[in-house]
């Protein structure tokens, strides 16, 4: 990851950036050293810069020590605007080994954290090929430099700006480094904001990496091993991985059924963060289908080609739990990730089969491509019966109906608990991950009835996303009144780059969960 730190370089950087508030070019120009201002003002006026969030203008300066000035729009200055600016800078400066970003001395800790988050997430790339050659990114370090509006550096006491080179080298780095020049409490608060932002970005990137990994490598066992490696040596963090035999012996028959058709057997990851003194216990459940053929009810090619992302919910809850440990949040968190590969094989489960889930509820299989709810049902029942949590939230790339209702960027939230739903909506908005609350209409429960079992796993009456949520609700037991389900199938993947999102897996849900866990704590 990029080295992002508060620092004032000794010499003029090859690329220098300033932030531009919406329709406020004078503020951006005033942040520059006096020698730059006239050219910058004329340039910004000529290109009709607006400072909209994520916008980017570049002024070349051939033959100068600082050969490029970058102007990154922050829009209205909310966290989303700062994240978008960070992502735009990461892309615009990818060929520069270092970048200095000049920030106003009045910048908030939240803004600096969001800018860094955008830098880290915007420069993300998943690559399994050979040498990238000229396409390789060179950017390794970003210096964040605070200045007064006149261009002076409040940390160094110098009014000469970067070009004069009289600032003090060093900075408060994420992960270590000398103290920020001036040693102010404010600089310490900004450094803490960078540490927090890095933990959130690292957790999101882990979820992206796991979700992007092709399924020829990403078996349930492989995915469980990656989490074990990430959890190794972290105080107060424990992990248990159940294999197929243990799952069968303990009654996790939904997971067993879905994984039966594959030669690569299922797993069940239970990752626990248990800090001392935690007063509340949250269980996070994530769907972990490492590849989904649809089973015997096989998908068409177009529906199957991105099914490596069908474990995006599991990646999110596991990464969020690791993030909670990294942030040392004072709340107990248990992540449950039922992992299976839904394949066509000689022992694959069939339409008409009846599965007895953990806890005893039975479901008749009417569609083997509605497999995610079967593995989630086991995990939710286990959470309610054995863990007795204060709150339960599950994330799942569950239905195509979610995107029909809400499009590709907005997840569907279902809960009967208004307080819990409100907290999650607030956290998602702050994190920049769109969520919309949907109804749980009891009129549709009758459609889940079966002639031979307690429930059917799929129906043809429509309202597919809500019916999936209603099915899951039947397994929440005593936690029903403090449970929320998030269907995030489409938002787990982006078809193009946009602000801090890049093409591919988004790591959706990690940032929302961590924001929410901070409030729970």
Answer whether 0.85 is exceeded by the pTM.
yes
Question: Which structure tokens are listed for 386?
Answer: 């054995």
- Assess if residue 202 is contained within a domain: no
From 166, 196, 226, give the residue that closes a domain.
Answer: 196
- Assess if residue 207 is contained within a domain: no
pLDDT score of 55: 95
Residues 437 and 368 in one domain: yes
Rounded CA gap, 286 and 320, in Å? 11
Residues 135 and 233 in one domain: no
* Active-site residue (options: 264, 287, 373, 511): 373
Rounded CA gap, 268 and 311, in Å? 13
Q: How many domains does the chain have?
A: 2
pLDDT score of 175: 36
- Assess if residue 204 is contained within a domain: no
Asked whether 381 and 477 are in contact (CB, 8 A), the reply is yes
pLDDT by residue, tens only, the chain of 521 residues: 889 998 887 788 888 999 999 988 898 899 888 888 999 999 998 998 889 999 999 999 888 888 889 999 999 999 999 999 999 999 998 888 889 999 988 899 999 999 999 999 999 988 788 777 767 777 889 999 988 755 544 443 333 333 333 232 334 444 333 333 334 788 889 999 999 999 999 999 999 999 999 999 999 999 999 999 999 999 999 999 999 999 999 999 999 999 999 999 999 999 999 999 999 999 999 999 999 999 999 999 999 999 999 999 999 999 999 999 999 999 999 999 999 999 999 999 999 999 999 999 999 999 999 999 999 999 999 999 999 999 999 999 999 999 999 999 999 999 999 999 999 999 999 999 999 999 999 999 999 999 999 999 999 888 899 999 999 999 999 999 999 999 999 999 999 889 888 999 999 999 999 999 999 98
- Assess if residue 519 is contained within a domain: no
Residues 74 and 218 in one domain: no
Asked whether 65 and 11 are in contact (CB, 8 A), the reply is yes
* Active-site residue (options: 37, 94, 299, 437): 299
Q: What is the CATH number of the domain that holds 257?
A: 3.40.630.10
Q: Which residues have C-beta within 8 Å of that of residue 392, sequence separation ≥ 6?
A: 282, 283, 284, 285, 380, 383, 384, 476, 479, 482, 483, 484
Residues 16 and 133 in one domain: yes
Q: Which residues have C-beta within 8 Å of that of residue 456, sequence separation ≥ 6?
A: 363, 364, 366, 448, 449, 450
Residues 397 and 271 in one domain: yes
Asked whether 126 and 497 are in contact (CB, 8 A), the reply is no
Phi-psi region of 379 (alpha: psi -120 to 50; beta: other; left: phi over 0): alpha
Residues 187 and 147 in one domain: yes
**In a 3-state reduction of DSSP, which class is residue 143?**
strand
pLDDT score of 149: 58
Q: Whole domain around residue 308: which residue ranges?
A: 214-507
Residues 191 and 335 in one domain: no
Phi first, then psi, for residue 52 (nearest 5°) are -60, 150
- Assess if residue 467 is contained within a domain: yes
pLDDT score of 206: 98
- Assess if residue 371 is contained within a domain: yes
- Assess if residue 280 is contained within a domain: yes
Residues 87 and 218 in one domain: no
pLDDT score of 150: 56
Which one-letter DSSP state was computed for residue 307? Answer: G
Burial of 417 (0-12, 13-18, 19+ CB in 10 A): middle
Q: What is the CATH number of the domain that holds 129?
A: 3.40.220.10
Q: Is 137 a catalytic residue?
A: no
Q: Is 91 a catalytic residue?
A: no
From 161, 196, 231, give the residue that closes a domain.
Answer: 196
Residues 476 and 327 in one domain: yes
From 170, 196, 222, give the residue that closes a domain.
Answer: 196
Residues 359 and 484 in one domain: yes
Asked whether 203 and 316 are in contact (CB, 8 A), the reply is no
Residues 231 and 102 in one domain: no
Residues 167 and 243 in one domain: no
- Assess if residue 201 is contained within a domain: no
Distances in whole angstroms, Cα of residue 430 to Cα of each of 476, 512, 519: 28, 8, 12
């Amino acid at each position: 990851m990029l080295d992002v730190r508060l620092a004032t370089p000794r010499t003029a950087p090859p690329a220098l950036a300033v932030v531009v508030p919406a329709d406020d070019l004078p503020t951006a120009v005033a942040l520059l050293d006096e020698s730059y201002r006239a050219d910058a003002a004329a340039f910004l006026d000529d290109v009709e810069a607006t400072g909209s969030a994520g916008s980017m203008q570049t002024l070349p300066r051939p033959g100068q020590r600082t050969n490029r000035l970058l102007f990154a729009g922050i829009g209205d200055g909310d966290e989303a605007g700062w994240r978008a600016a960070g992502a735009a800078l990461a892309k615009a400066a990818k060929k520069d080994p270092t970048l200095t970003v000049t920030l106003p001395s009045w910048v908030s800790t939240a803004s600096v954290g969001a800018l860094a988050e955008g830098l880290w997430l915007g420069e993300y790339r998943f690559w399994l090929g050979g040498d990238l050659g000229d396409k390789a990114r060179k950017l390794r370090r970003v210096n964040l430099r605070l200045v007064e509006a006149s261009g002076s550096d409040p940390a160094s006491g110098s009014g000469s700006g970067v070009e004069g080179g009289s600032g003090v080298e060093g900075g408060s780095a994420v992960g270590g480094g000398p103290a920020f020049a001036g040693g102010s409490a404010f600089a310490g608060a900004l450094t803490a904001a960078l540490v927090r932002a890095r933990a959130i970005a690292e957790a999101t990137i882990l979820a992206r990496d796991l979700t992007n990994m092709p399924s020829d490598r990403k078996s349930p066992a492989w995915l469980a091993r990656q989490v074990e490696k990430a959890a190794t040596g972290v105080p107060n963090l424990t992990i248990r991985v159940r294999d197929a035999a243990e799952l069968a012996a303990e009654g996790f028959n939904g997971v067993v059924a879905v994984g039966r058709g594959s030669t690569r057997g299922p797993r069940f990851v239970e990752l626990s963060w248990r800090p001392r003194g935690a007063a509340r216990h949250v269980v996070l459940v994530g769907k972990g289908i490492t590849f989904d053929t649809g089973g015997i009810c096989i998908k068409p090619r177009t529906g199957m080609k991105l099914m490596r992302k069908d474990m995006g919910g599991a990646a999110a809850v596991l990464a969020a739990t690791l993030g909670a440990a990294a942030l040392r949040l004072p709340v107990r968190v248990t992540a449950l990730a039922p992992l299976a590969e839904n394949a066509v094989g000689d022992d694959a489960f069939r339409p008409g089969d009846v599965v007895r889930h953990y806890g005893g509820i039975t479901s008749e299989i009417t569609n083997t491509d509605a497999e995610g709810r079967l593995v989630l049902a086991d995990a939710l029942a286990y959470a309610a019966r054995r863990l007795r949590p204060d709150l339960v939230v599950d994330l799942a790339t569950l239905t195509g109906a979610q995107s029909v209702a809400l499009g590709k960027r907005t997840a569907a939230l279902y809960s009967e608990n208004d307080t819990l739903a409100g907290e999650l909506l607030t956290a998602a908005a702050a994190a920049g991950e769109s969520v919309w609350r949907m109804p749980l209409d009891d009129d549709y429960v009758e459609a889940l009835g079966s002639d031979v079992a307690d429930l059917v796993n799929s129906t043809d009456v429509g309202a597919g996303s809500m019916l999936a949520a209603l099915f899951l609700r039947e397994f929440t037991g005593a936690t029903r009144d403090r449970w929320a389900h998030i269907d995030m199938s489409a938002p787990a993947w982006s078809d193009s780059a946009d602000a801090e999102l890049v093409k591919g897996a988004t790591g959706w849900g990690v940032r929302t969960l961590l924001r929410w866990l901070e409030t729970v704590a």
